[in-house]
Amino acid sequence: MFCKSLTKYNRRKTNIVNVGNIPLGGDNPIRVQSMINVATTDIDAAAVQCEKIAKAGASYVRAAVQGISEATAMKIIKLKLAKRKKHIPLIADVHFNRNAAKIAAQYVEKVRINPGNFIDKKTGKILDASEYDAELQRLRDEFVPLISICRQNKTALRIGVNHGSLSERIMNRYGDTPEGMVESAMEFLRICMDENFADAVVSMKSSNTRVMIYAYRLLAEKMDAEAMNFPLHIGVTETGDGMDARIKSAVGIGTLLADGLGDTVRVSLTEAPENEIPVAKILISYFKNRKHHNPVPDINTKKYFPYGYHQRKTKASNIFGGKNQIAVVADLSHVNPVYDRDFEELGFVKNGNKWEPAPNSPDAVYTGSSLFDAATQGITILSDETENLVRCDISCFNSNFLDWIKQNPQNILMLETGNTNAVAELRACFLMLENANAKNPVIIRRAYTDQGIESMQIKAACDFGALLTDGFGDAVCLQDSSMESRDLTKICFSILQAARVRFSKAEFIACPSCGRTLFDIQKTLTEIKDKTLHLAHLKIAVMGCIVNGTGEMADADYGYVGAGAEKISLYKSKQLVKRNIPQENAVDELVALIKENGQWAEK
C-alpha cells in the first residue's frame, strides 16, 4: 500500500536531503518553494524576485535554466544575494540541456532535470527489448556524470517527471499513464541507488489531479517494493489563477498530504510567484499535528482501489446516486425563514408555500427539515420505502444500522465527521458501506469556521477532493455560517471540477510562467477566460512555452502555446493549426478557431 495506514495518519519515512542549509525529508517540516518568472539572465530582476519569494516564506527558489548562459547566471544571482546577506537555496530547472545541468550543479543547491527530455530523441520507432536496454545504458552513461558533479558539490537533484513530457520509449511501452510516469522516475532512481547517491528528490506532476494523485501513490508503493526512501516534491502543474487554481492545487496536493506523502510543496499559480506561498502554507498547516487525531477503526480494504478512478455504485434516490451526476447541496439550515435573501441569491423562487430551484441554482437545498439524525433519534421512527435524509457519522455505523441501510437503499445518507483526520474517517464509513454491500447514495457534508474564504476553500478542497478522487460521494454540502450560501455553492462546483467528476464551466490548463515564457501569460489568461469561461464543454490550455505545453494540454480541446518572442501557436487537440501568430491577434484567432469548429456558444 502507498501509505503505512489508511486509518492512522503518518508521514511516509524518507531520506533527509540537504538543500543548502535547509534539509527536507525525514522528520523535517514540509518545505515550501516557488519559481521566479523573470528571465534568469536578468540578474537584478531575478535576485529581487528571489528575495520576494523567500520573504513570503519559501524555503527554496527555482529558476529556469535553458542553456549555458542561464546556468552561469545562477552563479552571479547567488553571489548577488550573498552580498545582501540573503542565503536562499537556489534550484536550477533544466530541460533538454544536460550540459547546462552539469554547469548549474556547481553553483546551486539543487538541480531539477526532466527524465522525459534528458536523453530523449524522437525517432518514431517502437523499441524492441534489446533496443530498450541500449537506451537505458545510454541514459546511465549520461546521468552518472551529473550524479558525480552533484556529489562533489553537495548539490541535491530532483527527478521531476511531467505527465506532458514523457520520453518516447516510455510512451511506446506505457503510454501517458501514471504507470509510465512512475517507470520514468524509477529508471533514474535505480541508477541513483546503484551509485549510492541518496540526495535525490522525485516528483510526478500533471495538470490532471487524478493522474498526479494515482502516480504519486504508485510511486510510493514502487519505491517501497525496491527499498527506496527518496523524498517527494508534491505539486499540480498548470492550475491557472484565482479560486479555481487554489482549489485545484488543494485537491491534488491535499489528497497526497492526507495520505502522508510529501516533503516539499510547490503550488503553481499563474500569478506573482509570492502569491503561491500562503496557499502552500495553509495546505501544510492543515495537516500539521494530524497524527494526534481521534482513532479511526481498522477496515477491510479489499474493495479499495487507490490507483485509478472507480465511482462507488449506488442506487438512485431522488436526484442522488445511480447515474445522476455528482450533486451540490446548499445548506440553508441556518437561514431565518423570514429573511429569504439566501434563497434568492442561489436562484430559488417562491411558488406558493414552497421553494423551487430556478436556472443556475444548486441541485438541491437542505433547510434542516425532513432530516433524521441517526445518532440522536435512532432509525426506528423512519418509515420504510420513503426517501429519508439520514444524518449520520461513524458512531452510527453498527451492524443494525448497516443492515437497515442496506434493506432501504432509497434512504440518502448525509455523512459528517468531527475528526481532525476527516478523510480517513469518512473513507472508513464508505468502506463499511461497501463491505456491507449497501447501495445508498451519500451526501458528504463538511462544516468549517475559518476566518477567510481562502483558508476554508482550500481545506474543503482537501477533504472533498480526496474522497471524490477515490470515487466516494454522490453529493457535497458545505457549511460556513459566516459566508453567503452562493459563495459556498461556487466553491463546491469548483471542487467537483478540480476532482474531474463534474464540469460546470470551461476548464483552463495554464502554466505559472517562468523565464521561458516570452509573453504576459497572466494578462492573456484573464483575457481568454473573460471570452470563453461560459464554454463549459471545453478544456483550454494556455501555456508559456513548448517544454511541457504540448504534452500537458494533451486532453485539452484547444491550446494557446508560446512559440517565441510574442509569437503564439494554436492547437486543436494535439494538432498544430496555426503557427507563430502575433500575440496581439492570438486571442481573437483562438475564438475564431473555436467558432470554425462549431464549438462556440454565445453567453
pLDDT in tens, 180-196: 999 999 999 999 999 99
Q: Is 556 exposed, middle or buried (0-12, 13-18, 19+ CB in 10 A)?
A: buried
pLDDT at res. 468: 98
Average pLDDT over residues 91-112: 95
pLDDT at res. 385: 58
Give the residue among 473, 505, 496, 78 at the shortest CA–CA distance from 310.
Answer: 473
Average pLDDT over residues 47-68: 96
Provide the pairing of β-strand 327-331 with 364-366: parallel
In a domain, 122, yes or no: yes
Q: Are 376 and 419 in contact (CB under 8 A)?
A: no
pLDDT at res. 164: 84
In what side-by-side order are the strands of the sheet with 31-35?
Answer: 200-205, 156-162, 110-113, 90-94, 60-65, 31-35, 264-265, 233-234
pLDDT at res. 337: 58
Q: Domain check: are 411 and 339 in the same one?
A: yes
84: left (phi over 0), alpha (psi -120 to 50) or beta: alpha
Cell of 480: 460556513
Q: Domain check: are 357 and 472 in the same one?
A: yes
Give the residue among 511, 509, 508 at the shortest CA–CA distance from 519.
Answer: 511
Give the residue among 247, 255, 239, 235 at the shortest CA–CA distance from 469.
Answer: 255
Locus of grid cell 471570452 = 531
Average pLDDT over residues 374-397: 73
At 504, the amino acid letter reads S
In the predicted structure, residue 423 carries a pLDDT above the cut 60: yes
Phi, psi for residue 354 in degrees, rounded to 5: -130, 160
Q: Domain check: are 180 and 250 in the same one?
A: yes
Q: Is 137 exposed, middle or buried (0-12, 13-18, 19+ CB in 10 A)?
A: exposed
pLDDT at res. 554: 66
pLDDT at res. 536: 86
Q: What is each CA distance from 388 to 187, 318, 370, 405, in whole angstroms?
A: 54, 10, 7, 11
Locus of grid cell 548562459 = 69
Q: What is each CA distance from 78 to 58, 147, 166, 581, 601, in whole angstroms?
A: 16, 22, 31, 37, 51
Select, from the ranges 131-140, 258-267, 355-364, the one with the highest average predicted confidence (pLDDT): 258-267
- CATH number of the domain where residue 30 is located: 3.20.20.20
Q: Domain check: are 545 and 592 in the same one?
A: yes
Q: Where a domain ends, among 498, 521, 537?
A: 498
Tell me how crowded residue 25 is: count the other CB atoms within 10 A of its CB.
25
Q: Domain check: are 544 and 490 in the same one?
A: no
Q: Domain check: are 341 and 270 in the same one?
A: no
pLDDT band at 354 (very low <50, low <70, confident <90, very high): low
In a domain, 603, yes or no: no
318: left (phi over 0), alpha (psi -120 to 50) or beta: left
Q: Domain check: are 42 and 124 in the same one?
A: yes
At 74, the amino acid letter reads M
pLDDT at res. 123: 74
DSSP 36-101: --S-TT-HHHHHHHHHHHHHHT-SEEEEEE-SHHHHHHHHHHHHHHHHTT----EEEEESS-HHHH
Q: CB-based contacts of 211: which residues, under 8 Å, 6+ apart? A: 163, 178, 181
Phi, psi for residue 587 in degrees, rounded to 5: -65, -45
pLDDT tens sequence across 489-548: 999 999 999 999 999 888 888 887 776 676 788 888 899 999 999 998 889 988 876 665
Residue 354, strand partner residues: 351
Containing structural domain, residue 361: 327-498
pLDDT at res. 258: 96
pLDDT at res. 303: 87
In the predicted structure, residue 144 carries a pLDDT above the cut 80: yes
Q: Domain check: are 167 and 223 in the same one?
A: yes
Q: What mean pLDDT value characterizes the chain?
A: 89
Average pLDDT over residues 535-563: 78
Q: Domain check: are 537 and 459 in the same one?
A: no
pLDDT at res. 356: 73
In the predicted structure, residue 573 carries a pLDDT above the cut 60: yes
Average pLDDT over residues 70-94: 95
* CA atoms of 344 and 300, how far apart (whole Å): 45
Phi, psi for residue 41 in degrees, rounded to 5: -75, -10
Q: By three-state DSSP, how is residue 477 classified?
A: strand
Q: Where a domain ends, among 292, 315, 340?
A: 292
Percentage, residues of the chain above pLDDT 70: 92
In the predicted structure, residue 236 carries a pLDDT above the cut 80: yes
State the angle between helix axes of 68-83 and 43-56 in degrees (0 to 180), rounded to the nearest 10. 60
Q: Is 230 exposed, middle or buried (0-12, 13-18, 19+ CB in 10 A)?
A: buried
In a domain, 438, yes or no: yes
| List of E strands, 114-220 | 156-162, 200-205
Average pLDDT over residues 118-145: 88
In what side-by-side order are the strands of the sheet with 475-479?
Answer: 364-366, 327-331, 475-479, 442-447, 412-415, 389-392, 371-373
Provide the pairing of β-strand 31-35 with 264-265: parallel
Average pLDDT over residues 442-448: 95
In what side-by-side order are the strands of the sheet with 567-572?
Answer: 507-510, 539-543, 558-564, 567-572, 575-582
- CATH number of the domain where residue 554 is located: 3.30.413.10
pLDDT band at 67 (very low <50, low <70, confident <90, very high): very high
In a domain, 315, yes or no: no
In the predicted structure, residue 549 carries a pLDDT above the cut 60: no
* CA atoms of 491 and 463, how far apart (whole Å): 13
Choice among 123-132, 205-214, 282-291, 334-343 with the minimum mean pLDDT? 334-343
pLDDT at res. 59: 97
Q: Are 599 and 583 in contact (CB under 8 A)?
A: no
In a domain, 442, yes or no: yes
pLDDT tens sequence across 372-385: 777 665 655 555 55
Q: Domain check: are 177 and 42 in the same one?
A: yes
In a domain, 190, yes or no: yes
pLDDT band at 313 (very low <50, low <70, confident <90, very high): very high
Q: Where a domain ends, among 244, 272, 292?
A: 292
Count of domains forming the chain: 3
pLDDT at res. 302: 87
Cell of 108: 546551486
Q: Domain check: are 424 and 560 in the same one?
A: no
Q: Domain check: are 192 and 341 in the same one?
A: no
Average pLDDT over residues 441-464: 92
In a domain, 196, yes or no: yes
In the predicted structure, residue 172 carries a pLDDT above the cut 80: yes
pLDDT at res. 239: 87
In a domain, 300, yes or no: no
* CA atoms of 589 and 594, how far apart (whole Å): 9
Q: Are 241 and 269 in contact (CB under 8 A)?
A: yes
